[in-house]
């Protein structure tokens, strides 16, 4: 693989990551609102209003998620692409596997991007009580593990995508499989959230 091919492959894989993240959150919103308001026949909302709300909120949050993906994962993705490019000059095509052993270091970069590049200090005026405290920046074991948990599937997908480019096969199957997992995972996530919300509602509704 040439340096140009490596860069293009990582760039395209990152665009797919942003799309799959948006699909996951969109599916979550649709499943959540659909279950709560339609399947539970919420009397406070008409079905037309619910459908419009489903489409509007799901689209809006999906776009926000895609933008957030760029803020959090773009720099780690560039780091991985540069790592492969530099090592490729010495180790050849075997360098495409380098992001996997470098994952613990990449997770630190992911934490930094989330902690300092996303708007974590926004105050909407509803959290101004005496117990509210501004977001405290800094790394901890929990934050690092959270960054590692989210970065791992992104890195694995990029490795699979680059490998598919190297092999010249299976790319469509990988994309279809990940898309299916994104829709299914988002739907399950939304269902669980809806169940929790329904359980908190009064029994007479």
- Assess if residue 40 is contained within a domain: yes
- 127 falls within a domain: no
The pLDDT of residue 132 is 57
* Residue 66 and residue 19 in contact, taking contact as beta carbons nearer than 8 Å: yes
Domain count along the chain: 1
Q: What is the dihedral of CA 112, 72, 102, 141, to 10 degrees?
A: 50
Q: Is residue 130 part of a domain?
A: no
Between CA 13 and CA 7 the distance in angstroms is: 10
Domain assignment present for residue 18? The answer is: yes
Residue 128 lies in a domain: no
> 47-65, pLDDT tens digit by residue?
677 778 788 888 999 999 9
pLDDT-derived band of residue 204, with 50, 70 and 90 as boundaries?
very low
Length of the chain counted residue by residue: 205
CB 109 within 8 A of CB 76: yes
What is the per-residue pLDDT for 123?
52
**202, two tokens:** 């009064």
* Predicted confidence (pLDDT) per residue in 101-129, tens digit: 999 999 999 999 999 988 865 554 445 55
Answer yes or no: is 124 within a domain.
Answer: no
- Rounded to whole angstroms, the Cα distance separating 109 from 79 reads 9
Q: Which domain, by its residues, includes 53?
A: 3-118+136-200
Residue 126 within any structural domain of the chain: no
192 within domain boundaries:
yes
């Amino acid at each position: 693989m040439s340096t140009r091919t490596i860069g293009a492959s990582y760039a395209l894989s990152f665009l797919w990551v942003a799309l799959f993240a948006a699909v996951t959150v969109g599916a979550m919103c649709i499943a959540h609102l659909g279950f709560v308001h339609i399947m539970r026949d919420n009397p406070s909302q008409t079905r037309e209003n619910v459908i419009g709300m489903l489409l509007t909120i799901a689209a809006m949050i999906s776009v926000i998620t895609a933008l957030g993906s760029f803020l959090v994962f773009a720099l780690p993705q560039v780091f991985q692409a540069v790592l492969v490019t530099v090592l490729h000059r010495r180790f050849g095509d075997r360098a495409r596997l380098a992001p996997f052993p470098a994952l613990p270091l990449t997770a630190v970069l992911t934490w930094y991007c989330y902690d300092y590049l996303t708007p974590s200090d926004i105050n909407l005026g509803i959290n101004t009580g005496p117990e509210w405290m501004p977001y405290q920046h800094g790394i901890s074991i929990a934050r690092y593990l959270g960054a590692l948990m989210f970065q791992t599937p992104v890195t694995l997908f990029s490795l699979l995508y680059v490998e598919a480019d190297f092999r010249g096969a299976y790319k469509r199957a990988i994309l279809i499989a990940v898309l299916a997992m994104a829709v299914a995972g988002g739907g399950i996530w939304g269902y669980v959230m809806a169940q929790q919300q329904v359980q908190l509602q009064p029994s007479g509704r």
